[in-house]
C-alpha cells in the first residue's frame, strides 16, 4: 500500500466549516486537531468519514446499558473503559500527530495498557471495542473499521445491532485475524476473553427500550 501523501500545510488557519475541506485530500491527526466545526468526523487512512448526527435516544440507552456494567466490573481493576466522543489514534510507525492518519471514535472501548492513554485519548489499539450500529452506518464505513481494528490488533470487537437486538463478537486469533462468534440474541449472555469473569445479559441491553 502506498504511503499516504500528507496534506501539505500543517499550520493552516483553524477550519470552522466542514465544507471548506477538500475531501479528496489525505489528512493527518495534526490537521484533525485544527478542525473546529461541529460536524463529527473520523479519519480512516487519511480520508474523512462524516459520522452520523447525534446518536438517537435508543442508541444512547443501549450504549449506557453496555458501558455501565463494564465500568462497574472494572472498578479496582487496571483496565479503563471510555465512551464516545473519545479519540483513538492508530499510528503505523511514528506517533507524531502529522504521521497518524487514522482517528476513530468507537462507541465504547476498553484500554488495559495505560501507557496508551494521554490527555487527548488513546494512541494505539484498545483491547476491546464496541460499535453500536446506527441506520446511518454504511457498509463501506463498517468494512474500513473492521479492517483497521484487525490490522492494529484490537483483541475483541463487538458489533451491536440496534434493529436486530443482537451482538456479534469478533475475537483476534493467533494469526492476527478476526474470528466471528455466533450471533447472540435476547435471553442469551455474552462473555469476554479480554475481561475474564465478565458477563452481559442481552435482556439487560435491549429489554427495556421504549
Task: Categorize the per-residue pLDDT at 1 as very low, low, confident or very high, splitting at 50, 70 and 90.
Answer: very low
What is the rounded distance in angstroms from the CA atom of residue 126 to the CA atom of residue 129?
7
Are residues 117 and 110 in contact, defined by beta-carbon separation less than 8 angstroms?
A: no
pLDDT value, residue 8: 47
What is the rounded distance in angstroms from the CA atom of residue 10 to the CA atom of residue 179?
39
Q: If you average pLDDT over every residue of the chain, what do you get? A: 90
What is the rounded distance in angstroms from the CA atom of residue 97 to the CA atom of residue 100?
6
Global pTM reads 0.89
What is the rounded distance in angstroms from the CA atom of residue 136 to the CA atom of residue 17?
21
What is the rounded distance in angstroms from the CA atom of residue 85 to the CA atom of residue 157?
18
Q: State yes or no: pLDDT of 161 exceeds 90.
A: yes
By C-alpha distance, which of 50, 171, 154 is closest to 108? 154
In tens, the pLDDT along 62-78 reads 999 999 999 999 999 99
Alpha helices in the chain (DSSP H): 29-32, 57-74, 139-151, 202-206
Worst-scoring range by mean pLDDT, 34-43, 124-133, 163-172?
34-43
What is the rounded distance in angstroms from the CA atom of residue 185 to the CA atom of residue 24?
40
What is the rounded distance in angstroms from the CA atom of residue 32 to the CA atom of residue 12?
11
Task: Categorize the per-residue pLDDT at 165 as very low, low, confident or very high, splitting at 50, 70 and 90.
Answer: very high
What is the rounded distance in angstroms from the CA atom of residue 85 to the CA atom of residue 83?
6
Are residues 95 and 115 in contact, defined by beta-carbon separation less than 8 angstroms?
A: no
pLDDT value, residue 26: 93
Worst-scoring range by mean pLDDT, 31-40, 58-67, 114-123, 158-167?
31-40
Instruction: Say which residues have a Cβ less than 8 Å from residue 1's Cβ, sequence separation at least 6.
Output: none
Strand 108-111 with 80-83, pairing: antiparallel
DSSP 9-39: -TTPPPB--GGGS-TTS---HHHHTTB--SS
What is the rounded distance in angstroms from the CA atom of residue 46 to the CA atom of residue 27?
5
Amino acid at each position: 500500500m502506498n504511503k499516504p501523501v500528507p496534506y501539505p500545510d500543517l499550520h493552516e488557519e483553524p477550519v470552522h466549516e466542514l465544507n471548506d475541506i477538500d475531501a479528496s485530500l489525505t489528512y493527518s491527526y495534526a490537521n484533525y486537531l485544527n478542525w473546529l466545526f461541529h460536524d463529527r468526523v473520523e479519519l480512516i487512512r487519511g480520508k474523512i468519514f462524516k459520522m452520523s448526527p447525534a446518536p438517537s435516544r435508543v442508541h444512547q440507552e443501549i450504549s449506557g446499558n453496555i458501558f455501565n456494567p463494564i465500568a462497574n466490573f472494572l472498578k479496582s481493576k487496571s483496565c479503563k473503559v471510555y465512551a464516545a466522543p473519545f479519540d483513538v489514534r492508530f499510528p503505523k510507525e511514528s506517533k507524531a500527530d502529522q504521521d497518524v492518519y487514522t482517528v476513530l471514535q468507537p462507541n465504547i472501548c476498553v484500554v488495559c495498557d495505560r501507557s496508551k492513554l494521554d490527555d487527548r485519548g488513546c494512541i494505539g489499539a484498545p483491547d476491546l471495542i464496541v460499535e453500536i450500529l446506527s441506520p446511518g452506518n454504511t457498509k463501506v464505513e463498517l468494512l474500513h473499521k473492521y479492517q483497521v481494528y484487525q490490522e492494529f490488533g484490537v483483541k475483541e470487537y463487538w458489533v451491536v445491532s440496534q434493529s436486530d437486538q443482537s451482538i456479534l463478537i469478533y475475537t483476534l486469533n493467533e494469526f492476527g485475524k478476526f474470528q466471528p462468534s455466533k450471533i447472540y440474541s435476547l435471553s442469551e449472555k455474552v462473555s469476554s476473553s479480554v475481561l475474564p469473569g465478565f458477563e452481559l445479559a442481552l435482556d439487560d441491553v435491549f429489554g427495556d427500550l421504549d
